[in-house]
Structure 1
């Protein structure tokens, strides 16, 4: 997901979750295809948010219609 840092917006869904949304018009077709390969149940990923916090997170859902990932912290 490192390749997508500038294309995402994010919102905390609570103290233990975050929602990442990738803006369609900022994505190439190759990047859209790459995003679709991420799925729930994959090994945890490390996110570094704007404040510099690094957290291990797991994907719990993906909305292909709006390129949105739902993640929970470990």
Structure 2
């Protein structure tokens, strides 16, 4: 995954959640070379040193659209 792809995905998810969670931020990490990614959510009020307060979802890059619909959006409802 390129840096641009990662940033685009982060931005798309953040925009989807901004209506209900105005201070939410999204961060995506590549977990391994097999295409597994980790999508983390944190809030502006949580500093970068407090990542244990973040919520995260792990999936394969190909399952990304499905995970948004079935796990991420329902979690933040």
Query: What TM-score results when the alignment is normalised by the length of structure 1?
Result: 0.36
Identify which of structures 1 and 2 has the higher relative contact order when contacts are C-alpha pairs closer than 8 Å and 6+ apart. Answer: 1
Q: Greater share of helix residues, 1 or 2?
A: 2
Q: Greater share of strand residues, 1 or 2?
A: 1
